Structures are given as C-alpha cells and as structure tokens.
Structure 1
Amino acid sequence: MDKRDNISEPKAAALGLQHLLAMYSGSVLVPILIATALKFNSEQMTYLVSIDIFMCGVATALQIFTNKVFGIGLPVILGCAVQSVAPLIMIGQKFDIQTMYGAIIAAGFFVFLISGAFAKLRRFFPPLVTGTLITVIGLSLIPVAFQNIGGGSTTAKSFGSLPNLLLGIITVLLILAINVWGRGFIRSIAILIGLVAGTVIGGFMHMVSLAPVAQASWFHVPTPFYFGTPHFEWSSILTMVLISLVSMVESTGVFFALGDIVGRKIGEDDLKKGYRAEGLAVMLGGVFNTFPYTTFSQNVGLVQLSGIKSRKPVMYSAGFLVLLGLLPKIGALATIIPTPVLGGAMLVMFGMVAVQGIRMLQQVDFNNDKNLLVAAISIGLGLGVTVQPEIVQFLPKNIQLFCSSGILMASLSAVILNILFNSRNPQPEMKSDAGLNEKD
C-alpha cells in the first residue's frame, strides 16, 4: 500500500521528530567542534548552537517547499556539512572569524550562480574522484577525534589522562553496542544516545558543568552578523568554494537515491533547484553566523525504513528545528558535553565518512593502473599535508591556507589527474546510492 498521501498529523510529527533526532547530533557537532577550536566562550557557543539548529530548519524548508526558482521538493533534511570543519577552523585560525563567514557567504553565492551548469559538470566527479575525496575527508578528521578523546588541548596537563581516555572509550563502546544490538529507530540515533549517555557518565566523573545552561536565556532572536561584518579574502573564498563543490557532488547522490525511493525521476531542472536551495542556505548560514548546509544522507535510510514517502514528516522536522533554535537553554545543553565524549562520537562518525568513501571507490576499476595512481597520489597528498602542515610554512600566508588543506589538495589532485589520465576513457558517473549511510 502506498503511504505517500495518507498519513495522520500525529504520525507525521513523530516521524518528523525521528528525522530530527537522526540528524541532530551530526549537525550540532559541527558548531561545537569549530567553536571549541576557535576558543569561543560559553555564551558565544550557546548562540552558535542555537542559531545552527534554527538555520537547519530554515535550510530544510528552502529545500522541501519547491517553487520555480529553488527547492527540489523531496523529503530531505539539511544540516551542517562535516567536510567544512577542518577548512573553517584553518581559516578562523589563520585569519579571523569575520573572514570565515565572508568565505561562507561567497561560497553560497557561487553555488547559487553555478547551479544550472553544475549538472553538466558532474562528469568531472566520477566515483574515482568523489570516493577518493570523501575517504580523505574522513581520514583527515580522525586525528581531531583522537585529540578530543585525550581531552582537547595537547598542552593541557590532563591530556591523555585515564579519566579522559576511559570516557572516550566508553562512548565509542556505547555507540557500537547500540549499532550491534539496537533496531530501527534506536539504532538510527546511536550517536545521540552515545553523546547523552557519555555526558551522564561524565557527570558522575565530575567532568560536566551545568553553568552554561543556567546562564543561557530562555529565548532569543536570530541576529545577522552576530560576530561582526564579514571580510572577503580570496584564498579563504576559494577554499570554501571547493568544499561547496564537494557538498554538491554528495547531495547529487542523495537526490537520486531519494528519487528512487519515492518513485520520482530526478531531472536537470530538479537538480538545479536543489543546488540553488543549498546555495541560499549556505549564504544565510554566513549572514546569521552559522556554517555551510548540505543534504544529510543518513536521513535517506529513515525514509526507506518508514516507507513514508511524503514530505510532511520533514516539514514537521523543519518546524521543530526552528522552534528549538529559538530556545538557547536547549542549545546550551549541547555545550556541556565533555570533550572526550565528543571525541568518541567523532571517531565513529569520521571513520564512517572514510568508509563511505571506500564504498564509492568499490565502483572503480582498479585493474587500471591509471585509476590506482589517481587515488594513491591524491590520498597521499591529502593525508601528507594534513599530518605535516608545517611543510608549507615558508610559503605566503594565502598560499599556506590553500596548500595546507588536505581536503583541497586531494580534490585538486583527483580532478586534475583524472582528467589527464582518463579524458579519452571517461569514468562512469556515481550511482545514486553510492556512499549513503543507510540504516537497516
């Protein structure tokens, strides 16, 4: 029986909450990680998490309420793009927060402008390129997870202490246990349960302070340019433009997968409106001082699991996200999570990102030595500058930002080498379900 149209409001609301919970932890981790790395205070971090939740709802609404200009009209959820974490931290540290947000706004404008042409450019992003890139994204972030498991700052006396390591390991084991023995909905929120349970355990270990929650207000209004007027710097903009291209490639796979599930053929016009919605969401993220938004692949599994093909549950999700984002005390709850707990969750999440890249690479013919070289050199360059960023320390500051990003180096290497080696024998395009994190 087709459940697409006949769905009650209470059931739609419950399913909407499930979508929210499945994406919540993955999305709020991005502002927490960036704010921690840039040493935001508790008030700034609370604002950041709250406005991020609010903007997730706005970004999702832009995508599901389709019109002639933007919105693909599929049951999609948008959240902060995890691949933007490392580049944004790098921009914030080398320049300043205003430059970081200027780069986000410019990248969103770029995505909006090229949305019509990008469908024709997808041939430059076959599984060989996309899989290599996503693998590097996951692997390059794993050291950050380990740093957080140790306690955050490597210069702190408590870094690597037994309580920190124990709490990080417990969090990982909890998430693994839920994925092994959990079913359906419970399994889909394994990361969230791990974060909550790890925080509770951390409380018993005297590693949690509720002061940020007590200090946070009950209600706030989103404020444009909360952290100041944006600055526009060319190397930072180029960095975020390349990251946005990666997000567009990932979103393309999600769009096709959802089209298959709901029985709708996705054409070039649909893709164009979907990219435009993401471009608008990224621009608004920069204006309201949050981060780039992209379509979340993990929610595709929930659509498949529930069998509900209607957009109505996702409309509820968007409404819930907007409501929660207006209540800073709820946003402050996410800031009390101990750093080792975040590290444990990050280890699982970033490891899964790397494995998704490897799954994409399974579509590649590695009997062809040229494909082996493209992947090998690109992964080597990406991880090399990630582990040893000092290798470019004598280059000009703007060039340093560009060359010290493993994600950017891997992107350029994979695209250029693929063009050089495979221009006469183009690689097959990415399958619609490649790399998706589907839930059983």
Structure 2
Amino acid sequence: MTIFWHRRDLRISDNAGLYHTLLGGGPVLPVFIFDRNILDELPSKKDARVEFIHDSVTELAKAYREYGSDLRVFYGYPLEVWEFLRDSLRPEAVYTNRDYEPYALERDRAVANLLSIREIPFRDYKDHVIFESDEVQKKAGGPYTVYTPYMRTWLRTLDSRLVSFGEEKISYFLKPYPTERYLHHLLPEKGPYPIPTLAEMGFAPSGVEVPPAAEGRDLLTHYDQNRDFPAVAGTTRWGPHLRHGTVSIRERARLARTTNDTLLGELIWRDFYSNILQAFPHVAKGNYRPEYDHIPWINKEEHFRLWCEGKTGVPIVDAGMRQLNATGFMHNRVRMIVASYLTKHLLIDWRLGEKYFADKLLCYELASNNGGWQWAAGGGVDAQPYFRIFNFDSQQRKFDKEYRYVKRWVPEYGTESYPQEPIVPHKFGRDRALRVYKEALAEARS
C-alpha cells in the first residue's frame, strides 16, 4: 500500500502527486489531515476558510467513494497522525504535492524523517505552481527579482516545449495529468469513514460563502477592461480555489492563455511571488531590502484600529476594509490603495496589515500576500518606490467615480455620520512619509 497525502490540492482531477502515486500501482490510500498546528492559531472559530476546506474535503471524500474507495480524514498534529499511520498501516511509500511556505517545509522535513526511521520514502511533486524557482532563472543564473524580465522568461519557458492535447498543441507545462486513467489502483474501501465535524474541531459555521471560481467566457474575455473597477463584478474569484487546489493551476492557465493576456499575467505574478518565497525565505518575516528595516513606523494603535474597522474617513479605504471584514474578499485595486494608506499615510508597519489580511482573506496565501504588502511598503522585490504614494482622491475618481462601491459598503457616506476629514489627510501624510522614508533610507545606506 502507498499513501497519498492531500493538502493544498483538494481534487482528484489533474493532480500531479496523486497521478504519480497511482501510476506506481496500488493499492493507494488517500488521506487528509486537519492540522492543529494551523487551526489552533486561528483567531476566529467562525473562520470561513476552515468551513470551505471542510466542505471541499467532504466533496473530495464523496468523489473517492464514487470510485469504490474513500478518503481517510484526520484531525490532529501531523507528526502524531503520521506516526500512527506509519506503525499501523506500514505503507511502502508516502506521496504528496509540494508546499513552499516555511511551516510546510519544516513540517514535511519532520514527517520525512519520521518515515525514514522505517525506511519509508517520502516523495513530493510540483502541483501548486506552473514553475518553481529553479525553473525560471536569469541567463547568468539565480532567481529574478523584477517581474517584467521574469514574465518574459516565464512565457518563453512555457512555449519552449509543445505537446499534443486533443486537436491542438499546448505547452507541456500546462498539460493535465490523466489521473482518472489509474483510479482503479485506489484502495477499495467499505466506508464511508467519518469526517471530523466543524464542531468537533472547535469551529462553527461562518455565514460567509466562498463564491465559485468564475468560468464565464464573457467575464474572462473582458477581464482586462473590468478588473480595476471595484463596483463591477469583473474579477474571477479564483483565489480561494487556487489556494486550496479545488481547481488546477494548469487548467486555469490554459483558460487564461486562450482568453486574456492580462489574466494570464496575474497567474504569472502568483508564480513570481511563490518563486521569491522559495528563493528568499527570509521575506516571510522581514523586508527583502534590509535598508527598509530602518523605517521608524509610528504604529499608532488608534489609527490601526480605525483602518481595520473601515473608519479612516477615506471612502475607498473604508469600503475596502468593510468588504474584507464582511466577506473575506477585497478587490485587488482596493487592496493596493488600503495598503498604501496604511504604510505611507499612517506610517504603520506593513507586517501588521499583512497579518490582518492573513486573518481575513479567503484567498490568503503567504507568498502573494507578503509580496503585495512589501510592494506597497517599498521594501520588497520589484517594489513600488517609496516616493510613489497613492492619492486616494484620484484613485476614487478614476476607479469608482460615481461612488457605487463606496455607497455599497459605507452607507453613511455623505451624511453627518461619516467623518468630514480623513484621520490623516493626503498632503500631510504624503509629505511626512516622503521625509521619514528618505531620512531612514539615507541613514541606512550611510
């Protein structure tokens, strides 16, 4: 028997690690672990992400049952679960798909060491990204730290190897894994085996629904025209599904490649930030550019609270934060605006904003969230220069001119109940940020 460990790949179709497990013959037992090291740290017990994962795992188990097998689901600490599986089932090998976040790497090393005591191989595969860090490199060697040349090499690499797919040629790197051909190698199970309930894990329904991943041709074709306008339903909502692997990144990249180059570019950004985390793991906790460690953040608690609650007096910032708090989603254009306001106008450490997003975003993944915040604050790779500071009034006029988005999320806007002035006005905040950043960076470089 071999075991396949599902993590960020909650699907059977086009699953790289599952394909390789099944290809080796059977029987194959699929498992999933609700990881207490992660769940115990979540600040809310009504976390919509846990609910979404639970629903997705339940659907995955049903899918396995249709093939005469089942998904064994555990709730606990991975090392303890794997010690039990190792000693009770004595698998010949354990397969999984790679995860690049620091905790996941540490966990996988510990599991691999635990299995090695019984000489059980631990094999992992690329599934969550199109290219890993060592696959897209500079000509002279080493990872890219600027997006545009990375994107060009990414596209060249993508097109460097074409294969047949039906009646067309596609990139070898986008071809799906034909997992379904080998499902007869699954371990026959008489289940269904019980799945821990939300209540048993200490959680409760959140009341927040994760929308399906958009597939409509019209939305995807016009993505580049509509994506910057938060009042328009012009984005894909693919984030949570790519994060937890309920859809395949290869399938979504094929779809983007044939519909909209701008949409494909967003997927390349996703790979780019993942590659940065792989190559420079220190960014998980600090600035890519060490000189930005010298920024003397003000970190005024009252200002941070008002930012979190969407009560800054900046309409588009407040709308974005309230949308995030209510739905677990914030429009990408608005994410940039609220991040700029926090780090530049309020001079609050980007790590506080990053953590708040990590606690709230349905689509949260470390690499992209970290990359976006470091971009806004200036200390990351390919970052927005510190002297470019979003003017929230001009952003409002350009992307929500009629205040449709603002009025949806800030119903008191325009009344006496809404602040007449921002907690930090644009000119004052901009001038202060320019002075503070300039002095700190000059001192760091001297």
Smaller-chain TM-score bracket: under 0.3
- Give the number of the structure whose residues are more often helix, by fraction: 1
* TM-score, length of structure 2 as denominator length: 0.27
Instruction: Compare CA radii of gyration and give the structure with the larger one.
Output: 2
TM-score by length of 1: 0.27
Larger strand share, 1 or 2 = 2
